[in-house]
Structure 1
Amino acid sequence: MSSLNILRHFHVHPVLWVMVGIGILTGSFLQLLSIFLIVLAHELGHYGMALFFRWRIRTVMLWPFGGVMETDEHHTRPFKEEVAVILAGPFQHIWIFGAIAILDTFSILSSGFIELLYTYNIVILLFNLLPIWPLDGGKLMFLLLSHQFPFVKAQVYSLYCSLVTIVLAFGLSLFFLPFSLSTVMLGCFLLWENRLEWKQRQYAFLRYLLRRYEEKRLPVNAIHSIHVTEDLPIHQIFKQFKRGTHHQIFVNFKNNTRAIIDEGECLYYYFTLKQSSASAKELADWCAT
């Protein structure tokens, strides 16, 4: 991929531009530039690993103390692959520590600024590991939950945990540390991102189902049986789908008989035939014809 195409993927969030303006006005532009370069190196780690696995990357949005890489994979890649992409960002901080040590050894920068760089690097690393969406810790938490619980429940659990962590983390920082406008802005920004993710969770789930339907060779770790009644709407069946699992759907009829439906047939009935409001019985009748 050419360097021009790579640059087209990267964008700077307006909040970061606001903080740059504040830095210029307050005389802390050099410190903000250092933070920006550390964040950029962090995101290049995610980006490089995603390219290695041939992910379809849409954008990489840079914002204070981190960034967000949007792809077209929609949670359908192998577990180890997704973990590698998530952790590739935090691992960049290891060589950044080495680079800072080299600058310190040759006295290229003042000792005070070196200490500041060490602080920025460790703070950005630890901050991104917090279980807050869409930080790396939040994505890793969702990934782990989605392999233990149905996708929909994993969404809810991870966002609840994210919200609680935001309130606790920024509440404690404002209580124990001096008031900082950038801290307040960052807390508000994360709350806003979580609010958007909550509002769009149904859309994200549908994208996941659609990608699951389109991809014919998804990684499967287990086969899981889903037992439903004949009156259950088909969209409620999907809420029991779990990542890394292939589902066999058992429809139990009122006459004590049952039908077995593969998840592929269920997804085809929903997306291709557009029977989004059909019941499990109607699905079973269609499969039987």
Structure 2
Amino acid sequence: MNISKKINHFHIHPILWAMIAIGIVTGSFLQLIAIFLIVLIHELGHYGMALYYRWRIRSVMLWPFGGVMETDEHHTRPLKEELAVSLAGPVQHLWLYGVIWMLGWMQWVSPSMVDLLFLYNTSILIFNLLPVWPLDGGHLLFLFLSHRFPFVKAQAYVIICSIVCIAFTVLISLLIFPFSLTIVLLACFLLWENRLEWKQRQYTFLRYLLKRHEDRNDSVHTLHAIHVPEDMPIHHIFHRFKRGTHHHIYVLFRNQSRKVIDEGECLYYYFTLKQSSASAKDVAEWSAM
């Protein structure tokens, strides 16, 4: 991948352009540049770690106090990789504290500017660690939940937690900083992102299943048995899948007998043979042939 393609991965969200325009009008352009640079360094941390693990990156969208990196790795990468990529952004703030202190110590910037940079760096770090999707904290929360609950439940739990956290944070922030346009814009943006994530959660889940079917390398650490009746639709079986777990499906027939099928057989039957309306019984009979 050449440099020009890497640069083309980065985009600026319209809200950030709007805030830059507001900064020019209000005379706070220098402060916005400082925020932009901190956000850019934060996202470069994610980007660099993703490149290190050879993730396929679609784009990096920069917006006030954070950004979103879209990839083609649909939640099937090993836990250590996803954890490293998620934490690579917040880690950048640690060495930035040292740089800011050095700038003040060498008197390259005024003491008031040093205090402001410390405030911006801390605010952006804390903001990104909130358990809100699609912030880093939201990704870390989803990573934790999706290894302990079925994928679809983890999706729902993260969105619910995000909305509650956004509402609580906005309430507290507005009590401290009344009539803050920035807080309102960020809250609207995050709520919109969660609304989109909720609407496309089934599509996200299907992409995850397809990726799991194609790669079959979901960093399996444990085996898990799923017991289902013979008439359960195959897509309902998938709703019980967890990450980091390989599943053996026990199909219980009406005559009290049972048949064990592997999750790979279910995924193959669903995606390759395109039997999306099949039942557990259909897969069990097919696998016995």
TM-score, length-scaled by structure 2: 0.98
Instruction: Write the distance in 1 (CA, Å) between the matches of 2:271 and 2:212.
Output: 11
Contact 2:218-2:243 at 8 Å conserved across structures: no
Q: CA RMSD in A?
A: 0.8
- Higher mean alpha-carbon deviation, 174-183 vs 119-128, is at 174-183
Report the secondary structure of 1:131's partner residue. coil
Shift of 1:250: 0.5
Partner of 1:70: 70
Match of residue 114 from structure 1: 114
Q: Does 1:9 align with 2:6?
A: no
The range that moved more, 233-242 or 104-113, is 104-113
- Give how far 1:80 is off: 1.2
User: Aligned partners of 1:84 and 1:117: how far apart in 2?
Assistant: 26
Runs of 4+ in 1 over 4 A off after TM superposition: none
Once the two structures are overlaid, the 10-residue window that deviates more, 248-257 or 107-116, is 107-116
Q: Secondary structure at the match of 1:130?
A: coil
Maintained 8 Å contact 2:249/2:263: yes
Give the 3-state SS of the residue equivalent to 1:116 in structure 2: helix
Query: What residue in structure 2 maps to residue 167 of structure 1?
Result: 167
User: Aligned letter for 1:276?
Assistant: S
Are 2:41 and 1:41 equivalent residues in the alignment? yes
Deviation for aligned residue 1:110: 1.3
Q: Look up the SS of the partner of 2:159 in the other structure.
A: helix
Contact 2:10 2:61 in 1 (8 A): yes
Q: Secondary structure at the match of 2:256?
A: coil
Task: Name the SS for the 2:144 alignment partner.
Answer: helix
TM-aligned CA deviation for residue 98 of structure 1: 1.0
Aligned to 2:19: 19
Contact persistence 2:86–2:136 (CA under 8 A): yes
Please tell me whether residue 256 in structure 1 is matched to residue 256 in structure 2: yes
Instruction: Measure the CA separation in 1 of the matches of 2:106 and 2:241.
Output: 56
The Cα of 1:283 is off from its aligned counterpart by 1.3
Deviation at 1:178, TM superposition (A): 2.8
Structure 1 partner of 2:182: 182
Partner of 2:281: 281
Q: Secondary structure at the match of 2:153?
A: helix
2:90 is matched with 90
d(CA) in 1 for partners of 2:2, 2:272: 37
More divergent stretch after superposition (1-10 vs 276-285): 1-10
Q: Which runs of 5+ in 2 are unaligned?
A: none
Tell me the percent identity. Answer: 66
Aligned to 2:203: 203
8 Å CA contact 2:149, 2:242 repeated in 1: yes
Name the counterpart of 1:51.
51
Return the TM-score normalized by structure 1. 0.98
Question: What is the CA–CA distance in structure 1 between the aligned matches of 2:23 and 2:218, rounded to whole Å?
Answer: 47
Letter in 1 for 2:271: F
State the Cα deviation string for residues 25-71 of structure 1 (Å, max 9, x = none). 11111111100000000000000011111111111111110001111
Q: How far 1:83 moved relative to its partner?
A: 0.5
Q: What is the deviation of 1:3? A: 2.2
Q: In the alignment, is the contact (CA less than 8 A) between 2:218 and 2:245 conserved in 1?
A: no
Q: Unmatched 5+ residue regions in structure 1? A: none
Deviations along 1:221-252, one digit per CA (max 9) or x if unpaired, are 00100000011000000000000000000100
